[in-house]
A and B are shown apart, each in its own frame.
Chain A
Amino acid sequence: MAAHRCRYLACLLLLFLSVILVTMSQETTLGHEQHATAVDDPQTGAETKQTAEKPTVEEKRWEETKVKATTQASDTAVLSKTQVNEDFQEELVIRPLHSGDIYASFQFRTVWETDFMKGNKVSHYRLFPKSLGQVISKFSVRELHISFTQGYWRTMQWGQPFIPSPPGAELWVWFQDSVTDVDATWKELTNVLSGIFCASLNFIDSTNTLQPSASFKPLGIGNETDHRFLRYATLPREIVCTENLTPWKKLLPCGSKAGLAVLLKSEKLFHSSFHSQSVHIRPVCQDRQCKSSSWELRQALNVVFDLHTSGQSKREWSLFKMFSRTLTEACPLASSSKIYIDVTDNPQEEQFELSPATPLLSQAVVLGDRRTFSVYDLTQQVTFGTVRSLNLMIRWKSSEGDMLRPLLHAERYVTGYGLQTGEIHTLMYNNHPFRSFPVLLLDSVPWYLRLYIHTLKVISKGKDNNPSYIHYQPSKDRERPHLLEMLLQLPPHSVTEVTVQFERALLKWTEYTPDPNHGFYVGSSVISSLVPSTVAMETNITMEQPLFSSFFPCKEESSYFARVYTEPLLVNLPTPDFSMPYNVICLTCTVVAVGYGSLYNLLTRSFQVEEPNPGLAKRIANVIRRMRGVPPL
């Protein structure tokens, strides 16, 4: 009996083990099949049908995958139509400046044919960064422009930048029509962006937010522009450093690992005269007919390297000297990756020499001028040569030739003395010899500088220049800044001066910053204008245009849109003395003097009765009596 039982037990065990083994093997084979189907072709709908009938038609599925492998050529065409259309381009423009400095402008553009707005939740992000996509859909953003700049762009020495930006941080946003409470959405948006870019954008509140009424029209497509949905704010005090560059680089599809972004090393970028990084999101036309829109994300980085601080005696620039890196490959996710060197002033190579030489040349109309560029295409392997790395060198042979004066530039400064009053002067120069053009000046002054608008004067060439449009919104203490917008016509070859007097306010002692003796910043004025151009501008923006020439849309051929920023102002407000030892000494001395003094008086003062002073007659009588020897009255 026991023997039977033992055998029975052993058989049971064996059966159990075999069952386990079989199930395990089945699982692994199933797993393999799942892998194969997932990897092969995730797009077509036919696949899903097949996987539903998986247990019975395994062999048929393997055959299907083989067939798919051979017809891949025709499939890619089908794929590109049903696939979501995303495109990434990168470019670097290097422009030698007349003063010996060199201007490098990076632009990275991602275009995505999707709709964040119409309810379908976008959840599959490939090239477009997810953090920005979520910001757009959550806050119903129509356009977003944010820039961080260190340094001031010197228009007189350097010309016009491709993408202008004011010192500090600047943020302007157009919201969609569906937003009901724009101010609350704006506040939340600034907080979220401060987390994304590691900047203190949460200091943007109602005391520095503006709602311009005519400037800052949307740069993307759209049919109506109701300025109630526009908000603009600038933080002139904001510092830009590696902690802002790091999250900016992380938004790029290739990060800083491949393509042009490997050149972005913070130690070299911040050791420069000017550094600006910006993010621009807007809807653009997909093609010439412009029947549908796609979202465009542009990340731009402008930097101007100084000839003298980089410690070299002769005028010679190379990628290695500028960025301490050379290029080895283009970003694999980019459809185009190019470097443009501006050689307009160097048609026969008499000014500088470019090496390695490149046969590609291209012309583009940008900033009202036709410029010629030598192009290096990084997607072609031949650009990198035999050493597999590209180190562009520009060597100067002669240093003559003058720079064309820029047609429009502006200055701003404060005059006056003392800590009570002052005057703000804004100067706008029109250097065109015979044409005048319109200019829209946007001035914002914080509430603690009380403007006397009745002293506002606009003078060109010695005569009054009446603006054709003025919008002034006075400030409210601790709530709103001053907003002044004027549309002026600048006469040719002239200087227009706008002056307004102000008075400084005394802040409450808790409102001072920890370093109040540094001063308080006033944001830059913005001057938007239609500058006449020397060549006909392109009015249709297409996808094939180089990125630097397609940022501002153009409606007419004879002029181009330019935006110029003035310097920010630094004004001193009357500051109480916060120094602790002085206050302690004053307080102690006062307490001691009042307390001890009164106590001493109380303890040691004795009172004596005093007779009132007798009249003149009585005094004379007393004198006579004394002379007589008789006691006085």
Chain B
Amino acid sequence: MKILTLLSVFGPYLFTDSVNIENSAGQFFSSGHTNNWAVLVCTSRFWFNYRHVANTLSVYRSVKRLGIPDSHIVLMLADDMACNHRNPKPATVFSHKNMELNVYGDDVEVDYRGYEVTVENFLRVLTGRLPPSTPRSKRLLSDDRSNILIYLTGHGGNGFLKFQDSEEISNVELADAFEQMWQKRRYNELLFIIDTCQGASMYERFYSPNIMALASSQVGEDSLSHQPDLAIGVHLMDRYTFYLLEFLEDIHPSSKTNMNDLFKVCPRSLCVSTPGHRTDLFLRNPESVLITDFFGSVRKVEITTEVLNLTHPIQRVEGSPVNGESHREVYSYVDQLPVSEIIHQKPKQKDWHPPDGFILGLWTLILLVFFKTYGIKHLKHIF
């Protein structure tokens, strides 16, 4: 009886609450990831490859706009186009002609630049095998609940991507790197986008689970550039990334667009090449994958109005006056060019090494000749 009344009082409340919990739990765990990372690489050097840098910067811009912070983006640009001396408008990289959109912006942090963009560094970033003194901004510190976006652009061919005109990465190496990442639990889901000629060959060899790949052209096709700007003198963007940027400009952090729309981004009429995609390794249905799962960094935040008590108030440490007691010696500035001191400076005494090699041989020869001619018994005349 008592139990029944108790239940009847608390029952409805519990029931509604459980439904709520299930709903919010369902929402919370549907995407499966808790943080987002992006690795954006431009692999081409020289001024006429301006469009590859513009491609990478436009994806960087979209990804930052949708919420991924700089600390979670590893941006690798093989050459500097913005402050290049051939750039008529320094500190800018444009993606649309007539200089409409400056994708370089005012707040950009490039992690790997110039000669640092090599195949070795790229693979080290992916697999996490970096020397211990590498700073945090140059590391991919992802865990098994991270969704990673990897974007590559440059010049490529059937099965390889050229880095800086001097080395290449093959599709087998890339697939192995992703497998290493999977084995080390470095990603939850991975979206791989590549905008090069014959880009589809780069994702043919993937064999790790949870990878979705997009490419701008099939094997045997070339990816074409979009439009030149007559003032700057080079092509500004590649077609696939141009239409990808236009598509992403319409996405905001809470939009519900899914991957099927991303696959339709650049039809053959606009792109001239046939973009391809690969979803067989991906466990979820592409229709249920949101664009913001990879391009944005939507974090689940719960606002509470409770007041938290600190256990004890923060004690301000009475800093002992650092200059007070210890030494009362007078400091002074060092003389910048103490001429007399420098002149009388003794040259650094290197450690004395016994004479070796040639000098030793020479002295031995001289002594031998001397003893041969004069004989040992004549030494007493000398000493």
B90, B107, B134, B348: the one within 8 Å of A246 (CB): B107
In angstroms, Cα B338 to Cα A561, docked, is 11
6 contacts between A and B (CB under 8 A): A28-B307, A199-B113, A246-B108, A290-B330, A293-B331, A528-B337
- Across the two chains, which residue of chain B brings its CB closest to A438? B339
> Does A76 make an interface contact (CB < 8 A)?
no
> Does A240 make an interface contact (CB < 8 A)?
yes
In angstroms, Cα B309 to Cα A37, docked, is 13
Contacts of A291 in B (CB 8 A): 323, 328-331
A114, A192, A240: the one within 8 Å of B322 (CB): A114
> Does B373 make an interface contact (CB < 8 A)?
no
In angstroms, Cα B91 to Cα A115, docked, is 39
Chain B positions 115-167 with a Cβ under 8 Å from a chain A Cβ: 115-116, 131, 133-138, 164-166
> Does B104 make an interface contact (CB < 8 A)?
yes
A84, A237, A487: the one within 8 Å of B339 (CB): A487
CB-based contact A13/B334 at 8 Å: no
Contacts of A247 in B (CB 8 A): 109
Given contacts A150-B83, A225-B334, A440-B342, contact A243 B110 (CB under 8 A): yes
In angstroms, Cα B133 to Cα A246, docked, is 23
Q: 1/0 per position for B74-106, CB-CB distance to A under 8 A?
A: 000000101100000111100000000000111
- Across the two chains, which residue of chain B brings its CB closest to A191? B133
Given A27-B307, A191-B133, A438-B337, output 7 extra A-B contacts at Cβ < 8 Å: A37-B313, A84-B319, A195-B138, A221-B334, A267-B90, A271-B91, A291-B323
> Does A258 make an interface contact (CB < 8 A)?
no
Within the complex, the shortest CB–CB distance from B94 to chain A, in Å, comes to 12
In angstroms, Cα B111 to Cα A194, docked, is 9
B116, B165, B330, B343: the one within 8 Å of A487 (CB): B343
> Does B345 make an interface contact (CB < 8 A)?
yes
- Across the two chains, which residue of chain B brings its CB closest to A560? B336
In angstroms, Cα B321 to Cα A291, docked, is 13
> Does B310 make an interface contact (CB < 8 A)?
yes
- Across the two chains, which residue of chain A brings its CB closest to B164? A514
Within the complex, the shortest CB–CB distance from B15 to chain A, in Å, comes to 19
Within the complex, the shortest CB–CB distance from A50 to chain B, in Å, comes to 10
Contacts of A468 in B (CB 8 A): 339, 342-343
Contacts of B5 in A (CB 8 A): 6, 9
In angstroms, Cα B92 to Cα A213, docked, is 43
CB-based contact B92/A267 at 8 Å: yes
A34, A213, A267: the one within 8 Å of B89 (CB): A267
> Does A285 make an interface contact (CB < 8 A)?
yes
Contacts of B316 in A (CB 8 A): 42-43, 45
> Does A220 make an interface contact (CB < 8 A)?
yes
Contacts of A487 in B (CB 8 A): 339, 342-343
In angstroms, Cα B317 to Cα A48, docked, is 11
> Does A358 make an interface contact (CB < 8 A)?
no
CB-based contact B106/A266 at 8 Å: yes
> Does A552 make an interface contact (CB < 8 A)?
yes
In angstroms, Cα B333 to Cα A223, docked, is 8
Chain A positions 1-18 with a Cβ under 8 Å from a chain B Cβ: 2, 5-6, 9, 13
CB-based contact B91/A269 at 8 Å: yes
- Among all A-B residue pairs, the 9 with the closest Cβ atoms: A195-B135, A292-B323, A553-B333, A31-B307, A241-B83, A191-B133, A221-B331, A270-B91, A270-B90
CB-based contact A195/B348 at 8 Å: no
Within the complex, the shortest CB–CB distance from A413 to chain B, in Å, comes to 20
Given contacts A113-B322, A192-B133, A487-B342, contact A202 B1 (CB under 8 A): no
Chain B positions 167-206 with a Cβ under 8 Å from a chain A Cβ: none
- Across the two chains, which residue of chain A brings its CB closest to B106? A266
Given contacts A239-B80, A247-B109, contact A271 B90 (CB under 8 A): yes
> Does B267 make an interface contact (CB < 8 A)?
no
In angstroms, Cα B134 to Cα A170, docked, is 20
Q: 1/0 per position for A18-58, CB-CB distance to B under 8 A?
A: 00000000011011001001100011010010010000000
Within the complex, the shortest CB–CB distance from B57 to chain A, in Å, comes to 11
CB-based contact A51/B116 at 8 Å: no
CB-based contact A440/B337 at 8 Å: yes
In angstroms, Cα B176 to Cα A275, docked, is 44
CB-based contact A27/B336 at 8 Å: no
> Does A415 make an interface contact (CB < 8 A)?
no
> Does A529 make an interface contact (CB < 8 A)?
yes
> Does A203 make an interface contact (CB < 8 A)?
yes
Contacts of A43 in B (CB 8 A): 316
> Does B349 make an interface contact (CB < 8 A)?
no
> Does B114 make an interface contact (CB < 8 A)?
yes
- Across the two chains, which residue of chain B brings its CB closest to A272? B90
Contacts of A221 in B (CB 8 A): 331-334
Q: 1/0 per position for A277-288, CB-CB distance to B under 8 A?
A: 000000001100
In angstroms, Cα B115 to Cα A237, docked, is 11
CB-based contact A578/B166 at 8 Å: yes
B45, B105, B136: the one within 8 Å of A515 (CB): B45
CB-based contact B334/A242 at 8 Å: no
CB-based contact B336/A217 at 8 Å: yes
Within the complex, the shortest CB–CB distance from B187 to chain A, in Å, comes to 23
- Across the two chains, which residue of chain B brings its CB closest to A184? B133
> Does B9 make an interface contact (CB < 8 A)?
yes
Chain B positions 332-365 with a Cβ under 8 Å from a chain A Cβ: 332-339, 342-343, 345, 347-348
CB-based contact B83/A270 at 8 Å: yes
CB-based contact A48/B164 at 8 Å: no
Contacts of B108 in A (CB 8 A): 242-243, 246
CB-based contact A48/B133 at 8 Å: no
B136, B313, B336: the one within 8 Å of A51 (CB): B313
In angstroms, Cα B108 to Cα A489, docked, is 47
CB-based contact A469/B331 at 8 Å: no
> Does A477 make an interface contact (CB < 8 A)?
no
CB-based contact B318/A45 at 8 Å: yes
Given contacts A214-B345, A217-B335, contact A198 B133 (CB under 8 A): no
Q: 1/0 per position for B296-316, CB-CB distance to A under 8 A?
A: 000000000001011001111
Contacts of A82 in B (CB 8 A): 318
Contacts of B112 in A (CB 8 A): 200
Q: 1/0 per position for A397-439, CB-CB distance to B under 8 A?
A: 0000000000000000000000000000000000000000010
> Does A315 make an interface contact (CB < 8 A)?
no
- Across the two chains, which residue of chain A brings its CB closest to B112? A200
> Does B46 make an interface contact (CB < 8 A)?
yes
A5, A195, A530, A555: the one within 8 Å of B137 (CB): A195
- Across the two chains, which residue of chain B brings its CB closest to A44? B316
B1, B82, B138, B338: the one within 8 Å of A242 (CB): B82
- Across the two chains, which residue of chain A brings its CB closest to B347? A471
CB-based contact A515/B46 at 8 Å: yes
B83, B111, B322: the one within 8 Å of A198 (CB): B111
Given contacts A270-B91, A271-B90, A291-B328, contact A469 B106 (CB under 8 A): no
> Does A357 make an interface contact (CB < 8 A)?
no
> Does A613 make an interface contact (CB < 8 A)?
no
> Does A289 make an interface contact (CB < 8 A)?
yes
In angstroms, Cα B347 to Cα A38, docked, is 61
> Does A541 make an interface contact (CB < 8 A)?
yes
> Does B2 make an interface contact (CB < 8 A)?
yes
In angstroms, Cα B313 to Cα A493, docked, is 71
Chain A positions 523-576 with a Cβ under 8 Å from a chain B Cβ: 528-530, 541, 552-553, 555, 561
Within the complex, the shortest CB–CB distance from A367 to chain B, in Å, comes to 14
CB-based contact B323/A239 at 8 Å: no
Contacts of A42 in B (CB 8 A): 314, 316
In angstroms, Cα B310 to Cα A84, docked, is 25
Contacts of A529 in B (CB 8 A): 337
In angstroms, Cα B83 to Cα A269, docked, is 11
In angstroms, Cα B345 to Cα A582, docked, is 56
- Across the two chains, which residue of chain A brings its CB closest to B88? A271
A51, A213, A241: the one within 8 Å of B80 (CB): A241
CB-based contact B89/A271 at 8 Å: yes
Within the complex, the shortest CB–CB distance from B78 to chain A, in Å, comes to 8
Contacts of B6 in A (CB 8 A): 9
CB-based contact B2/A5 at 8 Å: yes
Within the complex, the shortest CB–CB distance from A152 to chain B, in Å, comes to 13
